[in-house]
Amino acid sequence: MTTDVIEQESHDEHHDDHKMTGIKRWLYTTNHKDIGTLYLWFAFIMFLTGGAFAMVIRAELFQPGLQLVEPDFFNQLTTVHGLIMVFGAIMPAFTGFANWMLPMMVGAPDMALPRMNNWSFWILPFAFSILLASFFMESGAPNFGWTFYAPLSTTYSNGSTAFFVFAVHIMGISSIMGAINIVVTIMNMRAPGMTYMKMPLFVWTFFITAYLLIAVMPVLAGVVTMLLTDTYFGTNFFNAAGGGDPVMFQHIFWFFGHPEVYIMILPAFGIVSTIIPAFARKRLFGYSSMVYATASIALLSFIVWAHHMFTTGMPLFGELFFMYCTMLIAVPTGVKVFNWVATMWRGSLSFETPMLFSIAFVILFTIGGFSGLMLAMTPVDFQYHDTYFVVAHFHYVLVTGSLFSIFAGTYYWLPKWTGHMYNVTLSKWHFWCSLISVNLLFFPMHFLGLAGMPRRIPDYALQFADFNKWVSIGGFAFGLSQFIFLAVIIKCIKGGKKAPAKPWDGADGLEWTVASPAPYHTFTTPPSQADIDGIYKDEH
Amino acid sequence: MSETVSHSKTVKKLSLVVLAMFGFGFALVPLYDVFCDITGLNGKTNDTAATYNANGVDESRTITVQFITRNAQGIPWQFSPVINSIDVHPGEMKFVKFYAKNKADHAMTGQAVPSVSPGMAANYFNKIECFCFTNQPLAAGEEVEMGLQFYVDQDLPSDISTLTLSYTLYDIGKKSS
């Protein structure tokens, strides 16, 4: 599909491509655009897989009592849903964006390490095959939650720990290779004349995210290795009987886990910061404050991990320290939201689909941020901990935050990727259906959580029945809405109105100086200084 | 080509960071223990014998020390303190006993792991002699009284008047054999 279009186009224009055909092209490819496409399709398939699990979860929770699945299988579904969405959908989708856009945005011919790029994608399907295959094993899939707390994943493991650990190891290696590639590309391959403070904000956010990945993915690899040796080789890292400590697991896990949540949101900031100026027809308000805010969020993310653990019994000083540090993150995040709003202020706004998703992102991500502030307060966290309030919070930041930015970015660059304009009517249907259903899906979860409904349970008390029914209906509607997205993309790849090199009149950036669809090889000669200086124009 | 050289330099540096962070993950294990030791967080008490070095007994304060016991999964022993609580003055040495009986039909080895609550008091609770310093093998049906000799340091913060010492008993037979 994408293959055909790009192939045709580039064969017409570039007869020296030496591309392989068929499956070999995709297996052996070292082209950043091909690998970006692979990442994006992989992420979408994983998104539908994880979404299918969520549908079963919501069907079971449609009414109280056990109807469809056994509690143990329910736990496997919530665990694998979380793992797939985090490591299989959101992160690979962002890596896909990085692969497609970064070289074009910095004026480089390709990523710095193309062969490693091929590897970092092609080991991913194996990781998720291992994880998903565990459903068909005697033990069943991991059932200890995506946070795999010891001793649930060691002493009380259902036997799936080894599959889980190896899958996470492979995902981690893939992420680290991808991150190294991004850093090297940005540091060494920028076009002459593009200084750091001239880079598009999209590039900055991926640069900082890649550093976060390099810093914390090895810690994740370490903690799952300890888990593996505790479960199968008799070590006692987390086993109190042997002098270990299960609470230490949570400290090490969340030392990875909290930067991880910024790994999933900083690229979203970059995408939205690219799209809002384009459709407000103004330059991004406060570019340098955006860069510094992104960097401060990344630095602060290393000293807030224990806010996930307020109820483990921490001394008062610890609780206060982690509470204040967490609240401090609201400052740079507030700077960002302020800048997005200020960019739109008195702009000549138009509401194309990427802009709709970006505005929804700003509003709904902020709701998720506010519920995060509520959770950051130690005394109230004791009430909210492990309730649906937490589920509502992180789905607002990850679904209406990260995922909406991925939708926005996809619509924004789809003309550049495929050479066609997408079907506007269908895309607006996708937006409005998603927007309404996602709020029906996640907003009542706040009330359920405040009323005391615990998370990760297959059954619940009768008083939660009405809200859960609405939540499930919202869930099914949101799930179905994503097929509209699939339809838009397939239609767009197959045909549609020809897209000009720059379909958005307000858009900035080097990627719009090349033809649509982007030729197989771009910037084999660096862009001109005038093009680079033109990235941030004052007037359009 | 100069470009390739500069790539490999950057890659090497970044790979070093990756390795360092992998090591740091493991370094967190001893660091965690050291940190808890120094601060007394987490209620961790010393796992080696202390020597008595209090200067005198502070009779103006009375601290209630409570004893609780708990069995981890998979160890069918009867395990309980002989007395449930005792009043001590800071600096005063006390000796108490715990009772254990192996109710399984085979020999087992138990290990008691102590924890003090409130956690900040852990550094002021000194064990001169404790059955928790070693593991405890018991034949089927065998019973034993195990001793604990301790004193509470005089520097115990003045807002603490009650300490709870909790022992969790684990089956470590499989690990040690």
Catalytic site includes residue A81: yes
Mean pLDDT of A198-204: 95
Distance from CA of B101 to the nearest CA of A (A): 18
- Average confidence (pLDDT) over A188-214: 94
Region B161-168: mean pLDDT is: 90
Task: Render B16-40 in DSSP notation, one character per residue.
Answer: HHHHHHHHHHHHHHHHHHHHHHHH-
Percent over 70 (pLDDT), chain B: 89
Distance (Å) from the C-alpha of residue B151 to the closest C-alpha of chain A? 23
Residue B176: predicted pLDDT:
44
pLDDT at position A464 over 90: yes
What does the alpha-carbon distance between residue A212 and residue A261 come to, in Å, rounded to a whole number? 10
End-to-end CA distance of chain A: 35
Nearest CA in chain A to B7: A184
d(CA B54, CA B90): 9
Minimum Cα–Cα distance from A255: chain B residue: B25
pLDDT beyond 70 at A106: yes
**CB spacing of A219 vs B111 below 8 angstroms:** no
ipTM attached to this prediction: 0.85
pLDDT tens digits along B10-52: 999 999 999 999 999 999 989 888 887 776 666 677 667 777 7
- Mutate which of A120, A180, A181, A232 to test chain B, going by most B C-beta atoms within 10 A? A180
**Band (B4; pLDDT cuts 50, 70, 90):** low
For residue A537, what pLDDT band results from cuts at 50, 70 and 90?
A: low
Chain B residues close to A155, C-beta within 8 Å: 73
A263 or A315, greater pLDDT: A263
pLDDT of residue A18: 64
User: pLDDT grade, residue A17 (50/70/90)?
Assistant: low
Neighbouring residues of A138: CB distance < 8 A, sequence distance ≥ 6: A159
pLDDT for B73 equals 79
Grouping H, G, I as helix, E, B as strand and the rest as coil, residue A106 is: helix
Q: Do A241 and B29 touch (CB under 8 A)?
A: no
**Closest by Cα among A62, A149, A74, A59 to A456:** A74
Residue A54: which pLDDT band, with cuts at 50, 70 and 90? Answer: very high
Q: How many residues does chain A have?
A: 540
The per-residue pLDDT for A287 is 94
Which of B3, B32, B73 lies closest to A248 in CB terms? B32
Contact B119 A315 (CB under 8 A): yes
Q: What is the pLDDT of residue B52?
A: 76
Question: How far is Cα B16 from Cα A162, in angstroms, rounded to an integer?
Answer: 27
Of B17, B22, B168, the CB nearest to A240: B168
Binary contact (B3, A188; C-beta < 8 A): yes
Q: Which of A262, A396, A422, A512 is catalytic?
A: A262
Bridge partner residues of B114 (DSSP): B167
- Shortest Cα–Cα distance, B95 to chain A (Å): 24
Residues of chain A in contact with residue B21, where contact means CB-CB under 8 angstroms, are: 214-219
Cβ contact A464:A448 at 8 Å? yes
Chain B contact probe: residue of A186, A214, A229, A235 with most B CBs at under 10 A:
A214
All residues of chain A having their beta carbon less than 8 Å from the beta carbon of residue B24 are 218-219, 222
In angstroms, the Cα distances linking A20 to A80, A370, A412, A504, A522 are: 36, 50, 29, 33, 18
- Of the candidates B3, B26, B113, the beta carbon closest to that of A222 is on B26
Q: What pLDDT is attached to residue A23?
A: 86
Look at residue A257 and tell me whether its pLDDT is greater than 50: yes
Query: Mean pLDDT in chain A?
Result: 92
Per-residue pLDDT of B106-138, as tens digits, reads: 888 888 888 888 877 888 888 888 888 888 889
Examine the residue annotation and report whether A70 is marked as an active-site residue of this protein.
Answer: no
Q: Does the pLDDT at position A273 exceed 90?
A: yes
Is A15 marked active-site?
no
3-state SS string over A212-232? HHHHHHHHHHHHHHHHHHHHH
Is A308 among the catalytic positions? yes
Residues A155/A157/A163/A169 CA torsion (nearest 10 deg) = -50
Confidence band, pLDDT 50/70/90 cuts, at residue A134:
very high
> What value does the mean pLDDT take over residues A400-425?
97
Kindly report the pTM of this predicted structure.
0.89
Give the CB-side neighbour count of residue A379, counting CA atoms within 13 A. 0
Rounded average pLDDT over A213-221: 97
Question: B129 - beta bridge partners?
Answer: B149
Average confidence (pLDDT) over A29-36: 95
CB contact under 8 A, B15 and A219: no
The residue count of chain B comes to: 177
Q: Enumerate the residues of chain B whose CB falls inside 8 A of the CB of residue A221.
A: 22, 25
